[in-house]
Amino acid sequence: MTTPDNLPWPSDTGMLQVADLRLDLRYRQAITPEQTAELPQRVFDVLLILLARPHVLHARTALMEQVWTGVVVEDANLSQSIWMLRKALGPERKHWIRTVAKGGYVFDPPGPVQAIPIESVGTKTLPPPAEPETAPADAATHTQPIAPLTQPPPLMEPPPAEGAAVAGGRPTHAAGEPRAERPRRRIHRTWWVAASAGGLMLLAGLLGLARMSGQSMPLPPLQPVSVVLIEVGNSEDADARWPATVLHAWLEWKLNAIPEVVLMTEAHLAADATENPPQVVLLSAGKSADHPDERFIRARFDAPGGSRRLELRGDAAQMPQLIDALSRQVLDEVVPARRDDPWPKLEIDEPALRTYADAYRAYSERDMASAAAGLAAVLQQAPQFGLAHLQRAMAQYRLGQARFAMEHIGHAERLLTPVSEDVASVLAAAALSVDPQRAAETAAAYAELAARYPQRISFRLEQAWHEMRGGDAEAALLALEGTQWQRQPLGVQVQWRLTLAEIEGVRLDSDAVLEHATRAAQLARDAGKGWERELAAATMLQARVHAFQRGPEAGQEGFAEAARLFASVGAEIDAMHARVSGELMLPTAGRSKELDTLLAHARAGGYRNLEIQLLRRVAFQQRSAGNLSEYRRRLKDALAIAESVDDVSAQQELQVDLLNEDLLLGHFERATERIRQIRAGPVSGDTATWLDQFEGFLLGTRGDYPAASQALDQTVDRLAREGQPPLPADALARLACARAELLLSQGRLQDARLRHDQCGDTRQTYLANYAATVGAMIDLMAGDTGNAMPALQERVSDIQSMPPAPERWTAALWTAYLLARAEDVDTASTLLTDTLAAMQGTGYEWLIADAEIGLAEIAAARGRWTDASRLTDSARQRLPAESWQQFHRLDQVAILVAFARGENAQAQARMAAADARAHEVGDIKAQLELHSVMEAVAPYLRSVGGCDAPARNALLASTGMRGSNLDWMMRGLPLPDERVAATVPQPAH
């Protein structure tokens, strides 16, 4: 501790002055133009150390050793002291004490520290208080109980005499402060409660958004109250400390349920993270030094009349009653407007409470698997303990065990009563969150609470989080509008940025994810100790974006750092998850060594949500390696788990994965039914845009182009109609590419170019490749082969570096089709042959058929008619009946084969039928291709019906699609001689 002997100023110094701050060393007072604040001894000692060495970093450990020499105390004591110093300095000077993340504190005053001798001070400062100083709250020594300002609720019948306070379970007189026993109003409704661990939000995965019907309650005339609960004292003696832990939990539950209360954490104090000074309540418990069988439980906080300490004493068996009583006293002092509120009693015996203290520590540290197991043990001893039912429900829901969570919520609803009606509205909203089928009500409940209690910013964050987790990113963004988040406490800003990052992840806006995750990480670093989890979460989000944008290796350092941060706070499962996430980004050659261990931990620990996501990511890793049977098996395993725990969000995500698989397999009818099933639920966000794209693809493949265009536009139109934010740029770019393809089929070349400009507006690699291919197709349809070829050659190089997965095969099929049209049939043939060989045994019949069609077209171009006929026959057997576009390509090959064999009548009949179908569906590209065949063979036919040269030329002129022809495929066509062709009767066209 700093003493007069080691201070850097003269021994006769009576006061120090820094700018307009004066410090009276005699009476431990900080004097500013706004106030005079008296400081406790150890708080003043911290200030003296900072003053003695300004502009120097003081490590937290060094400060602890100097101020609490030889005393075992918690790190929270220093955070509390720093907060009290900032409060004493006032808003104009509190920034003089600067927090250095992971370092400590620096005192940066605007001027030098000046020493003023005692004789120059005078006698105008306030004298020390007449009453003796009470023992510090972190000392477990025996003191006489200080009478509380208010009475606790009665612990037994008959109640204590008027004016009595409970001490040691015995009625004692509260000298000079009697008050009549107040009536306890009961509300005949049953409600259940959610206690957020450590005062943090319950960020559980939910679905959907709807607005709750009914009239909103008027805004109550209550002032917002910020509270911090901190356990202090001997951290080594668990037997002595557990009552303080239980008091912490019991108070935390009540405070979280009061809508005007904002419950904060020690980390907020350490970071000076709030402009609204909170009421800091220090909680401690211990054994009396001179009464071995007596224990005390104590709460200390500032009050208008000075520092207040409430203390109750009794033996161990009386602790449940004393904790309950002291919690009421603290509530009455901290939230006086709630003195008449009813609360349930803490009805549980002392052995069960000891078990509960350990379970609650795991719950507060967000170790939900350990918490669920510990709370199960508590409920075996005390099955009527409502708070344990509630917290077990919340832990199980966080673990993805919704059914079990709902069972325990039912018990909590029955046991945690009575509470006041406005408190009940908060508790009901939290309780709704464990039922995945009531997600819309949950989001609406938080929306209503946020409107009624705007000072409780956590309601707005909860609303946004629930809506985002349901996939409705636009509604989540709307929920966050209208709040000046940059002016909120630092901790709220961290959570806001993390929530925004998650929302933008749903919207697939990776740049925005990176921006918000980077800001969240910086805020968490600035906040310092206590924010490691948030920093780890932000770092992991950054790593995912880097891996997505720049390749898997780019994110590995970030995943490793996130794992280190999680491990530093004991979150071993999270740390392992971060490491495995990085490894799963790599090819299977770098398969995660910890994957099986993590899966086993996830299953044993009840982390079903984690298990689902791991299985899904393993599935896609297997897919990238071409292990398709393993890919499908992992997806189905994940879906089975999601269904078993009623995880609707995960089910929807996996159903979309399986929908994509249906399309690749050519199971179009099953895909259509799956789309219908998915749309029957609450679909929003990027899931909706993927469904739009899949549905548009199906309709376009069938030749229903107007319906396909409408399907692609439905989400965009709905958002505009509802006045919601537009889709992110990447989603819009993806849809624009799909629209450009449809527009080409409809002969709208210029519109396709405009869509392509939007399609190329992206920095995502896969979208950029998609846009390049669409651009090459547009150039080819316009007849600009020279401009298309460089992009196609670059795509060939890209394809060769891709893993043997469906993405490579689909890219190769499309690129080969375009290369063949550009008359680079050798490269196209190589791509198709290699791809067809790679797809054997995969079950992707539709893709295999597409490869066979491409090879048949090339065989026709080379004059290999037998091969062309064999390949078309095989492809027809594989294709779904409704594949208009593929069957049209097959018909074109069949027409050329028939002409090559001299079967003019059959060829012309096929050509007439194909042309009629092309007109029926409005496929201009198909019409132009058939016209090119008609034009080539017209001299050998008596009549080609209405397809005369002027009509064909007019269509070319109106569309500009001069490259939409089959000239490249007719190079090897041995046209029949004029005599044979002329003698064949020609059907009307």
For the cut 70, the answer to whether the pLDDT of residue 215 exceeds it is: no
Mean predicted lDDT score pLDDT of the chain:
79
Maximum mean pLDDT: which of 106-115, 236-245, 430-439, 505-514: 106-115
DSSP assignment of 722-787: HTPPPPPHHHHHHHHHHHHHHHHHTT-HHHHHHHHHHHT----HHHHHHHHHHHHHHHHHTT-HHH
Residue 264's SS3 state is: strand
- Mean pLDDT over residues 457-482, rounded? 82
- Mean pLDDT over residues 360-381, rounded? 90
Report d(CA 71, CA 73) in Å as an integer: 6
Quickly count: other Cβ atoms within 10 Å of residue 482's Cβ.
9
Residue 647 binned pLDDT confidence (cut-offs 50, 70, 90): confident
- The region of weakest confidence among 574-578, 589-593, 597-601, 691-695 is 589-593
Residue 605 binned pLDDT confidence (cut-offs 50, 70, 90): low
Maximum mean pLDDT: which of 147-151, 181-185, 489-493, 714-718: 714-718
Report d(CA 32, CA 25) in Å as an integer: 14
- Mean pLDDT over residues 648-656, rounded? 85
- The region of weakest confidence among 142-146, 222-226, 304-308, 914-918 is 142-146
Q: Which pLDDT score, from 0 to 100, does residue 507 have?
A: 73
For the cut 80, the answer to whether the pLDDT of residue 101 exceeds it is: no
For the cut 60, the answer to whether the pLDDT of residue 347 exceeds it is: yes
Q: Which pLDDT score, from 0 to 100, does residue 178 have?
A: 34
- Strand-pair partners of 36: 31
Residue 986 binned pLDDT confidence (cut-offs 50, 70, 90): very low
Report d(CA 226, CA 815) in Å as an integer: 62
- Mean pLDDT over residues 609-638, rounded? 88
Tokens of 770: 């998609």
CA atoms within 13 A on the CB side of 219: 11
Q: Which pLDDT score, from 0 to 100, does residue 331 have?
A: 94
pLDDT in tens, 570-588: 778 788 889 999 988 887 6
For the cut 90, the answer to whether the pLDDT of residue 989 exceeds it is: no
Quickly count: other Cβ atoms within 10 Å of residue 611's Cβ.
24
For the cut 90, the answer to whether the pLDDT of residue 249 exceeds it is: yes
- The region of weakest confidence among 472-476, 733-737, 840-844, 881-885 is 472-476
- The region of weakest confidence among 172-181, 312-321, 810-819, 836-845 is 172-181
917: DSSP letter: H
pLDDT in tens, 186-203: 222 211 122 222 222 222
Residue 511 binned pLDDT confidence (cut-offs 50, 70, 90): confident
CB 397 within 8 Å of CB 409: no
CB 952 within 8 Å of CB 931: yes
Percent of the chain with pLDDT over 70: 81
Residue 224 binned pLDDT confidence (cut-offs 50, 70, 90): confident
Residues ≥6 apart with Cβ < 8 Å to 494: 520, 523, 524, 527, 531, 534
For the cut 50, the answer to whether the pLDDT of residue 157 exceeds it is: no
Q: Which pLDDT score, from 0 to 100, does residue 145 have?
A: 29
Q: Which pLDDT score, from 0 to 100, does residue 521 have?
A: 95
CB 387 within 8 Å of CB 416: yes
Q: Which pLDDT score, from 0 to 100, does residue 87 have?
A: 78
For the cut 80, the answer to whether the pLDDT of residue 402 exceeds it is: no
pLDDT in tens, 900-945: 888 888 888 899 899 999 999 999 999 999 999 888 877 666 555 5
Residue bearing the bigger pLDDT, 174 or 763: 763
Distances 889 to 33, 817, 849, 858 between C-alpha atoms, Å? 87, 11, 11, 12
Element (H, E) at 120: helix 118-121
Residue 170 binned pLDDT confidence (cut-offs 50, 70, 90): very low
For the cut 60, the answer to whether the pLDDT of residue 169 exceeds it is: no
Q: Which pLDDT score, from 0 to 100, does residue 823 have?
A: 93
Measure the N-to-C terminal CA separation of the chain; round to a whole number of Å.
Answer: 105
Element (H, E) at 56: none
Closest Cα partner for 406 from 225, 658, 646?
A: 646
Residue with structure tokens 């904790």?
323
- Mean pLDDT over residues 387-394, rounded? 93
- Mean pLDDT over residues 718-734, rounded? 78
Q: Which pLDDT score, from 0 to 100, does residue 216 have?
A: 32
Residue 41 binned pLDDT confidence (cut-offs 50, 70, 90): confident
Residue 848 binned pLDDT confidence (cut-offs 50, 70, 90): very high
Q: Which pLDDT score, from 0 to 100, does residue 61 have?
A: 82
Report d(CA 427, CA 256) in Å as an integer: 9
Q: Which pLDDT score, from 0 to 100, does residue 477 have?
A: 86
- Mean pLDDT over residues 621-627, rounded? 84
Task: Burial-class residue 637 by CB neighbours within 10 Å (0-12, 13-18, 19+).
Answer: middle
Residue 76 binned pLDDT confidence (cut-offs 50, 70, 90): low
- The region of weakest confidence among 662-666, 727-731, 845-849 is 727-731
Question: What residue type is assigned to position 482 of the chain?
Answer: G
Q: Which pLDDT score, from 0 to 100, does residue 589 have?
A: 53
- pTM confidence score: 0.59
Report d(CA 102, CA 75) in Å as an integer: 13
Task: Burial-class residue 431 by CB neighbours within 10 Å (0-12, 13-18, 19+).
Answer: buried
- The region of weakest confidence among 43-47, 400-404, 627-631, 804-808 is 400-404
Q: Which pLDDT score, from 0 to 100, does residue 453 have?
A: 85
Phi/psi for 655 (5° steps) reads: -65, -35
Q: Which pLDDT score, from 0 to 100, does residue 164 have?
A: 29
- Ramachandran area for residue 208 (φ above 0: left; ψ -120 to 50: alpha; else beta): left
For the cut 50, the answer to whether the pLDDT of residue 137 exceeds it is: no
Q: Which pLDDT score, from 0 to 100, does residue 192 have?
A: 17
For the cut 60, the answer to whether the pLDDT of residue 209 exceeds it is: no
Q: Which pLDDT score, from 0 to 100, does residue 952 have?
A: 78
129: DSSP letter: P
Percent of the chain with pLDDT over 90: 35
